[in-house]
Amino acid sequence: MDKEEKEKLDLEKENESVKIKRFLDIALWAMLIFWMAICLIDFYNTKVGNEPMFCLKNDVNKYSDGDVDICTGFGYKVINYKRDSYKGMEYGMFFFTKDRTADNK
């Protein structure tokens, strides 16, 4: 193999590497934008008083004066208090948010 053929092969490998990196970059940005859209849609739904659209897991804590619905989404939680003693809805990160009335069963 002469020097010219070797340079041509190196150039082809470099172009292939650039294409792979570009594809991964675009794919990661698309996933990030998609995730942000999901979070913002559920945040908006929570602020206007609607139920979240994207729940991975739904839990219900039952109390004598009502229920507390907990929706775990993609990195966040939406807690809907439907109790006589407390009504409201809150949105937060999944590791910070918990049922605030759980200690007062």
- Going across the sheet that includes 76-83, the strands are 57-63, 66-72, 76-83, 87-93
CB 18 within 8 A of CB 34: no
Query: What is the structure's pLDDT at 2?
Result: 77
Report residue 66 as tokens: 């009502």
- 1 confidence band (pLDDT: 50, 70, 90): low
pLDDT of residue 32: 96
Q: What is the pLDDT of residues 28-62, one digit of tens each?
A: 999 999 999 999 999 999 899 888 899 999 999 99
| Rounded Cα distance, 101 and 30, in Å | 38
Distance CA 10, CA 16 (A): 10
CB 71 within 8 A of CB 77: yes
